[in-house]
Amino acid sequence: MSGALHFRNARIICAEGGERHGDLFVADGRIVDSARGAETIDCRGALLMPAIVDLGVASIDRAAFRAGGIVRVGLMPDQSPVLDEPGIVQRSALIGRPDLWIHPIAAATRGLAGTDLAEMAICASAGARAVGTGRGWITDSGVMARVLAYARDLGLTVVAHSEDAGLVGDAVATEGETATRLGLPAAPALSEPLAIARDLMLTEAADARLHLRQVTTAAGFELVRAAKRRGVRVTCGITPAHLLLSDNAMSDFRTFTRLSPPLRSEEDRRAALAALADGTIDVLCSGHDPRGPEEKRLPFADASAGAAGAVTLLPLALGLARDGHLSLERLSALLSRNPAAVLGIDAGSLQPGAEADIMLVDQNAPWQISADTLPGTAGNTPFDGLPVQGRVLRLFKGGRELG
Output the average pLDDT for the chain: 97
Indicate the number of domains in the chain: 1
Answer whether 262's CB lies under 8 Å from 295's CB: no
The residue type at 186: A
State pLDDT tens for residues 344-403: 999 999 999 999 999 999 999 999 999 999 999 999 999 999 999 999 999 999 999 998
Residue 133 lies in a domain: yes
State pLDDT tens for residues 17-39: 999 999 999 999 999 999 999 99
- When mean pLDDT is compared across 101-105, 289-293, 331-335, the lowest value belongs to 289-293
pLDDT band at 1 (very low <50, low <70, confident <90, very high): very low
Residue 223 lies in a domain: yes
Residue 303 lies in a domain: yes
Residue 314 lies in a domain: yes
pTM for the whole structure: 0.97
CB under 8 Å to 320, separation ≥6 — which residues? 240, 243, 244, 276, 326, 331
State pLDDT tens for residues 60-114: 999 999 999 999 999 999 999 999 999 999 999 999 899 999 999 999 999 999 9
Most distant CA atoms of the chain, gap in Å: 66
Cα 20 from chain centre? 26
Residue 127 lies in a domain: yes
State pLDDT tens for residues 183-195: 999 999 999 999 9
- Read off the CATH number of the domain in which 194 is found: 3.20.20.140
Residue 152 lies in a domain: yes
Q: Quick check: 252 pLDDT over 90? A: no
Answer whether 246's CB lies under 8 Å from 218's CB: no
Residue 178 lies in a domain: yes
For the chain, the 3-state helix, strand and coil shares in percent, each to the nearest 5, are: 35, 25, 40
Residue 358 lies in a domain: no
Answer whether 296's CB lies under 8 Å from 308's CB: no
Structural domain of 342: 51-351+363-389
